[in-house]
Chains A and B, each alone.
Chain A
Amino acid sequence: MRMIPTCREATELLSQAQDRPLTVREKFTLYVHLPLCKGCRNFREQLSFMRQAVREYLRR
């Protein structure tokens, strides 16, 4: 993976971060990408919202 990942690669890592710990290198590439990209920052927040929504859906 490049030093600065594309949005597509960044979303793959953000998704996997919900399923496994990321490596230091992977965290670093996100650290470079995210401050530059509002779209991917929104995506990151929406991932945890969706996980919360599933819990809430079941709890209602």
Chain B
Amino acid sequence: MSANDALAKDTHEADAVGIEAHRPYLMRYALLQLRDVTAAEDAVQETLLAALQASSRYAGKSTVRTWLTGILKHKIIDHVRRQSRETPLEEDREARIDPDADVANALFAEDGHWHEFPSDWGAPDRSFESKQFWEVFEMCVQVMPPRTARVFVMREVLELSTEEICKELAITTTNCWVLLHRARLALRACLEHKWFKT
């Protein structure tokens, strides 16, 4: 394929039909972060519109999916910004008033030892083949407390650094690490009980 043909092919993939084909993937990406179907649909719709308007600017340097995900990431960050202005995360009030809100207090004894040791999951990536595994995974992310989930997904899905997350949400680095730790403890415990130990 000549360079011109390759460019023509990529340009074609960035047209309306080519872009539309990525909608299910983009929805999954947006839902994991926004946890709200309407908000996720809005973000994806805005992304597809923006992509169509800018399709002439798609340079073919990355895949169409990477390009679209980049646009969606910005839409999601805008949404998170609006959301954190409306319901600031600045303090961890919940956990201070109610120690039960801190999952770590439930998982560790007062002397800092595990109540129940994490078990050996064997070769866990074999579960990637299973549709049921992904249903459990989705459920486990969805049941995390909202602020914990928000920070976790900003870190793991949007791949923002903790510095960037702190800045967006106006929380301290320590608070950010605490929330990430809780998120990982909670997701781990959920996967273990709902999947690996069943």
A residues apposed to B, CB below 8 Å: 5-9, 11-12, 15-16, 18-20, 38-40, 42-43, 45-47, 49-54, 56-58, 60
Chain B contact residues, CB within 8 Å of chain A: 25, 28-29, 32, 104, 108, 111-114, 117-121, 124-125, 128, 134, 137-138, 155-157, 161-162, 177, 180-181, 184-185, 187-188, 191
Contact B118 A43 (CB under 8 A): yes
**With A and B bound together, what is the CA distance between A9 and B113 in angstroms?**
9
Question: Are B157 and A54 touching (Cβ within 8 A)?
Answer: yes
The reply to whether B112 and A50 form a contact with Cβ atoms under 8 Å apart is: no
- Let me know if B188 and A43 touch, CB within 8 A: yes
Q: A8-B104, A57-B32, A57-B137 are in contact. Are A39 and B177 (CB under 8 A)?
A: no
Would you call A42 and B120 a contact (CB within 8 A)?
yes
| CB-CB nearest 7 A-B residue pairs | A6-B112, A39-B117, A42-B118, A8-B112, A15-B181, A8-B108, A54-B156
Nearest residue (CB) in B for A38 is B117
Residue of A nearest to B28 (CB): A58
A11 to B138 Cα, complex, angstroms: 23
